[in-house]
Each structure stands twice: as C-alpha cells, then as structure tokens.
Chains A and B, each alone.
Chain A
Amino acid sequence: MAVQIETVRPKQGDAADAKPDLERIEVELLLEGVYRQYGFDFRSYAYASIRRRLWKRIESEGLTSLSALQERVLHEPEMMEKLLLDLSINVTAMFRDPGFYVAFREKVIPMLRTYPFIRLWHAGCSTGEEVFSMAILLKEEGLYERSRIYATDINEVVLQRAKGGIFPIDRMQEYTDNYIRAGGKSSFSEYYTAKYGGALFSPSLTKNVVFSQHNLVTDKSFSEFNVILCRNVLIYFDKELQTKVHELFYGSLSMFGLLCLGSKESMRFMRYEQCYEQVSGEKIYRKVK
C-alpha cells in the first residue's frame, strides 16, 4: 500500500501563537497525563481558566509551550506540586460580596432558628476566609453553639492554612469594610489579634468547625446538611462537572435545605433547577422537592 506523505509547511511563530485547536489538544494531553501519573483529575475543569493558569506556570518557569510544561510535570513531582497549587487554589476574601451576608441574615437565619441543630457544609472552602465569616455571622445571630460547619477542600495545603486561622494583616482594612457592609453587629477587630506577622482569629470561631479533605469531582456525599455553601467554586468547572456536583449537593441537602452559590453563578440549565426556589436575589436556593 502506497502511503502518500504530504508536505506540511512549518508553522511560523512560537507555540504561544499556535492556533486554538492545537492548544486544546495540548491542554487535554497535559491534564490526561497528570491524571494518569498522579491521580489529580482536572479534566473537567473550565477550559478558559485552566488554560490561563497553565500559561502562567509556563511563563514563570521560563518555558514556552504546554508540551514543555507537560514534560516537566510528568517527570518532576516537585513541578506537579506547584501546578497542583496553581490549579486548585481559589482566591477569596472575608465577607466577599457583603450583600450575600445581608441576605443570609435576613432570609436564611430566621429559617435556621427553627432548627435544634444546624449542619452546614462549606464545599471548596480554600484558605477558609468564608468559613470564618460564616462562623462570625452565626455567632452574632446566636446560632453558633448549635451549629457545626464542615469545611472541605480538595487541597490539604489550603486546609492546613484554614485551620491555622491566620490571615494577612494587610487585608484587615478591606475585611473590616466588608464586615460592616455585611451587617456585622460587633467590632471586627474583636475577632482577631495581631500575631506572628498576621491576624490570628479567635479559636472560638473554629471550635465547631470540622476541616477535612473532600474532592467534589470524585467523592460522594458524606452527610445531610441544612445549608451548603459553595460560592465561586463551580465557576472553575465545566458544565458537565457542574451538573454532577449539583447532583451531589441535591442529595446532600435535607428538605428545605439551602444552597448558596456565588453571585454570578446560577442554576439555569441544571437538571435540579425545578427542585429549588430562589429565596433571595443573591444566589440562595431552597430545596423544595
């Protein structure tokens, strides 16, 4: 059988200028390699943001292509560790979107008051800023003593940081502003002391918090909750994985339980949309069937 070999004109420019389709092949190969070599599954993460994070790593390592990064990652576990942090850490702030906390106080707290015991799941809690924010809110509403917050993340490193309860002191002004606009009832500075070059938050805020590793991509439900908070985490997943995680949340919420999403996330096009009613303009949904 004669095989005709086509002459292919070499492409001009470096790999960074490669056409989009080839780039997608390279990204997918890299993520597949990471999964098969190390078991971390980023294959269903939102392409646009994962591409950006990969290119940032490529540039800071002085590399020029996705393939070059692939080679390093597959052969050097240290490079995988760096990439794991790049891909799995989500940046957040205390009382991010103060309007959400105002709505939570107004719409959700009255419902929670009727429960003898409240179980909350903070899914994808990252370095814990929003966990501490919720603990403060529950405390101020007099519900903390009968609450338990399960704070989970895929990444053990960020969980350790969250457990430590130390946050950068230079963010405290911003967090204080957020706290006030979030309807804070006390003085924000009462919750922390300046220590170890950071702001150490009161251990009383974490006494009812259980930090543990949980992978939204692969792990199952581990309990039934009254409230699930997962804000600005699903935006890093593709639609298919979003649907899977919504299934997990639906199965983990008690009847009339509340699901809190980020302000630019929605339930649109999700199979479970009709099982919830939106209780606030902020993205707070109540399971009704």
Chain B
Amino acid sequence: MTTPGVVAIGTSWGGLSALGRILSSLPGDFRSPIIVVQHRSKDSDNLLAKLLQDISDLKIHEAEDKDTLLPSHVYVAPADYHLLVDAGEVSLTVDAPFRYSRPSIDVAFESVARSFGSAAIGVVLTGANDDGARGLARIIALGGQGIVEDPKTAEMPVMPEAAKRASPSAEVLPLQDIPARLVRMVNAPGQMKRKAG
C-alpha cells in the first residue's frame, strides 16, 4: 500500500470522550488523514474541533469544502452538512439528512469506500443508533478494513452492535486498543496481514 489511504471514524452518543481517547493516543506523525463524523446538534459550532485539538498532537480542523486531505490531519464533519470525499479532497453537501442524520456516518463511509477502496479504514465507536453499520459494510465490501469498538467498552453499545452485525469480518477491539491497532495498520502496513475476528 503506497498511499496511506484514509481512516474514517463514526460515532454518536458518548463520542466526545471516545474520540478524545483515540486522538490523544495517536502520534503526531500518523500517516493517514482522519475523518471524524460525530452526530451533534445542527447549531453546534467548531467547539468539538477545539476540544479535540487541546488533547491531540494531530492537526484538527472543522472541515471546509474542498479541503485537501493531508496526513496526520483530522477533518471533523461540520454540523448540518454531509461530508464526502473525492480525489483526496473533502466535498461537503447539504443534501437531505439520511435516516435523520446530517452529517451521516453512512453517507461519509460510503463515499470513503467508493473513493479509497482497499485503502479505506472505517471505525465505528459508541452511539445510540445504527448509523455507520451500512457504511462500514460498504467499506469492507469494497476491500477496505473495519474496526468496531467492543460494545462492552462503549458508553452506548447500540451503534457498535449494529456495525458488528452488519460486518461480521470487522475487528472488534476495546476502545483502548484501537489507537495502537490504527498505528500498526497505517504507519507499519507491512505487519497488517493479521486478521482478527
């Protein structure tokens, strides 16, 4: 794998602390761009990006349209927009909410799957609905890899349970093990042959 691909993380209820746990543990030289889709109120500003920046060595932005995806940068989907990707760029839309969500994890993951194929890694964390399950299955169907937070460590297990059901081949890991796994997959891809399940 020559291009570092992309890591897409989706979460809802309980997401802030789970994201904090992951982004504070990833090294500043993490080789992939990271996309974060966290459900939140449509009026929320860029506070989420600011809070995450305080605890992370990565560069965290609230995504703007046509942002270039750069390694070790994190792009947080803005409230009330869908985040899509194409050719290494962010592409925002205000298309109708998908299953009540905008941003929708499924919409973002589907786009990541279609654009990055086998270079896509999808991660589903804590949440109280099933958004992300379809998207993660799509990432895996198009050759990418999937990680699901162990529902036992999730503040709300509904979202990871749904993702697990939809993607039996996804790796299920406790939250605290996800950062190290991502580093192995992205920064040392030679060792990523192992398949857990």
Contact = CB atoms under 8 A, between A and B. Distances in A.
A232 B92 CA distance: 9
23 contacts: A17-B141, A46-B86, A48-B86, A48-B93, A48-B115, A49-B84, A52-B93, A52-B110, A90-B94, A92-B94, A96-B80, A97-B80, A98-B43, A232-B94, A235-B91, A235-B92, A235-B94, A264-B62, A264-B63, A264-B78, A266-B64, A266-B65, A268-B64
B114 interface: yes
Interface of B: 43, 62-66, 78, 80-81, 84-87, 91-96, 107, 110-111, 114-117, 141-142
A244 B150 CA distance: 49
Contacts of B93: 46, 48-49, 52, 235-236
A50 to B, nearest CB: 10
A46 B90 CA distance: 10
A47 B110 contact: no
A39 interface: no
A135 to B, nearest CB: 21
Nearest to A236: B93
Q: Could you say which interface size class chain A belongs to?
A: 20 to 34
A269 B141 CA distance: 36
Contacts of B66: 239, 242, 269
A24 to B, nearest CB: 9
A213 to B, nearest CB: 22
Contacts of B91: 46-49, 235
Contacts of A239: 66
* 8 cross-chain pairs, A with B, having the tightest CB-CB distances, nearest first: A48-B84, A48-B86, A48-B91, A235-B65, A49-B93, A47-B86, A232-B94, A264-B64
A11 interface: no
Contacts of A10: none
Contacts, number: 70
B141 to A, nearest CB: 6
Interface in A19-52: 19-20, 23, 46-49, 51-52
B93 to A, nearest CB: 5
Contacts of A2: none
Interface string A90-112: 11100011100000000000000
Contacts of B85: 48
Given A20-B117, A23-B114, A47 B64 contact: no
A97 B45 CA distance: 10
Interface string A46-60: 111101110000000
B97 to A, nearest CB: 9
A181 interface: yes
A265 B65 contact: yes
A277 to B, nearest CB: 19
A270 to B, nearest CB: 10
B111 A19 contact: no
Contacts of A23: 114
A51 B114 contact: yes
Contacts of A264: 62-65, 78, 81, 92
A45 to B, nearest CB: 10
Interface in A75-96: 90-92, 96
